[in-house]
Amino acid sequence: MTLLVVGSTAFDTIETPHGTSADCLGGSSTYFSLAARLFTKVRLVSVVGADFPAQHRQLLEERGIDLLGVEQKPGKTFRWHGRYSADMNSRETLDVQLNTFGDFRPKVPPAFRDSPFVFLANGSPATQHSVLQQMQGKPFCVADTMDLWIDRERDGLIELLRSIDGLIVNDSEVKQLTGKSNLIQAGRAALALGPKIVIVKKGEHGCFVFSNFFHYALPAYPTENVVDPTGAGDSFAGGFMGYLALCDSLTLWNMKRAVAYGTVLASLTVEGFGVDRLAAVDRPLVERRFHELQQFVAGA
For 8-44, give one letter per residue: b (16+ CB within 10 A) or e: bbbbbbbbbeeeebebbbbbbbbbbbbbbbbbbbbbb
Tell me the sheet residues that pair with 207. Answer: 201, 218
C-alpha closest to that of 48 among 6, 79, 76, 13: 76
Which pLDDT value is given to residue 299?
60
CA angle 168, 40, 46 (to 5 degrees): 60
On whether the CB atoms of residues 3 and 32 are closer than 8 A, the answer is: no
The span from the CA of 248 to the CA of 191, in Å, is 25
First to last CA, the chain: 37
Query: CA 59: distance to chain centroid?
Result: 19
The pLDDT profile of the chain, 300 residues, written as one tens digit per residue, is 999 999 999 999 999 999 999 999 999 999 999 999 999 999 999 999 999 999 999 999 999 999 999 999 999 999 999 999 998 888 999 999 999 999 999 999 999 999 999 999 999 999 999 999 999 999 999 999 999 999 999 999 999 999 999 999 999 999 999 999 999 999 999 999 999 999 999 888 899 999 988 888 999 999 988 999 999 999 999 999 999 999 978 988 899 999 999 999 999 999 999 999 999 999 999 999 999 999 988 764
Whole-angstrom CA distances from 270 to 16, 87, 121 are 11, 13, 19
Which pLDDT value is given to residue 185?
96
- CATH class name, domain 3-298: alpha beta
Residue spans per domain, the chain: 3-298
Q: What confidence tens digit (pLDDT) does each residue in 207-227 have? A: 999 998 888 899 999 998 899
On whether the CB atoms of residues 141 and 120 are closer than 8 A, the answer is: yes
